[in-house]
Amino acid sequence: MQHVRNVMRQLLLVVISIVSLYPVWFMLSTALKSTKYYTLDPTGFPYHVTFSNFSAVFHNWPILLWMRNSLIVTIVAVGVSTVISIMAAFAIVFGKGRGRESLFRSNIALMAIPPVALLIPMYTLMVTLGLINQLPSVMIFYTGLLVPFSVFFFVNFFREIPLELVEAAYMDGAPHRRILRKIIVPLSGASTITLVIVNAIFVWNELLVALVFLQSNTSRTLMAGLALYQGRYVTNEPLLMAAAFFSILPLVVLYIFGQRFFVRGLTAGIGK
């Protein structure tokens, strides 16, 4: 009986794993087929492997430029939001003075605000500032969107830090700047990596804001470019799947090497 149950569980898990991975496999296998071969057998194994779709994407699409844009936007937005959130969380947890708890609470509420509700005012603001089709437009918006979760995340983490560590330094006469830099930041290494990964996934994957703010071909992020070229190349499935595969590749590689950071960070919003 126990044996039957184990076999059934394994069977269920195999089926679920296939369903989870199949869309990714379909993407890769299609990208490795010629258009002719794909039309003949869309789901079959790619026995006649061709890399022509990948090279076509590189030669005919500005995909390297889009990737570069995505990377720059991700680095700036994640970097800025992480630094300012660490500072705010440090003040909320270890500082004194009114308003700290209200700031923390507002961040919890803002975590769940639909970004689309902020899109129109932010767009008109960017028009006024002349930032449309410029990367700083999305950098500013993303930085703001990332702050609430980042503050929440660091506050929860800082509340677990043993107070003795901070106290000892304080007794030695260290100013708050030194306490943050020499004690808090070094202790936060793993947590910071976790948060950076979560936030980087958000920025890398974001479509709506990029679509609206970046409308020139050279300023697009990878997701916005992909969504736009979908309409242009909809009948060339292998080519589109090759481009889509490029967009997921960095994430899959990161996931394989840093799985625990992904899991820890993405589930951090649940619970306390």
Q: Does 15 interact with another protein (rule: CB under 8 A)?
A: no
Please report, as residue ranges, which positions from 55 to 74 form the binding site for another protein (by CB under 8 A). Answer: none
In angstroms, the CA 187 to CA 93 distance is 15
In angstroms, the CA 255 to CA 245 distance is 15
Q: Does 203 interact with another protein (rule: CB under 8 A)?
A: no
State both tokens at 91: 């003040």
Q: How far is the CB of 60 from another protein (least distance, A)?
A: 17
In angstroms, the CA 19 to CA 211 distance is 30
* Only segment of 5-13, 53-61, 131-139, 183-191 that touches another protein (CB under 8 A): 5-13
Q: Does 248 interact with another protein (rule: CB under 8 A)?
A: yes
State both tokens at 222: 């990878």
Q: Does 208 interact with another protein (rule: CB under 8 A)?
A: yes
Q: Does 45 interact with another protein (rule: CB under 8 A)?
A: no
In angstroms, the CA 29 to CA 238 distance is 9
The sign of the CA dihedral 119, 120, 124, 125 is negative
Query: E strands within the chain?
Result: none
Comparing CA positions, the residue from 68, 271, 253, 89 lying closest to residue 262 is 253
In angstroms, the CA 151 to CA 268 distance is 12
Q: Does 44 interact with another protein (rule: CB under 8 A)?
A: no
Among 9, 48, 178, 232, binds another protein (CB under 8 A): 9
Q: Does 172 interact with another protein (rule: CB under 8 A)?
A: no
Closer of 59 and 98 to another protein (Cβ): 98
Please report, as residue ranges, which positions from 106 to 145 form the binding site for another protein (by CB under 8 A). Answer: 106-110, 112-125, 127, 140-141, 143-145
In angstroms, the CA 266 to CA 200 distance is 11
Query: By rule CB under 8 A, what count of residues binds another protein?
Result: 101
Q: Strand, helix or coil at 47?
A: coil
Q: How far is the CB of 222 from another protein (least distance, A)?
A: 8
Q: How far is the CB of 105 from another protein (least distance, A)?
A: 8
Binding mask 83-102 for another protein (x = CB under 8 A): -xx-xx-xxxxxxxx-xxx-
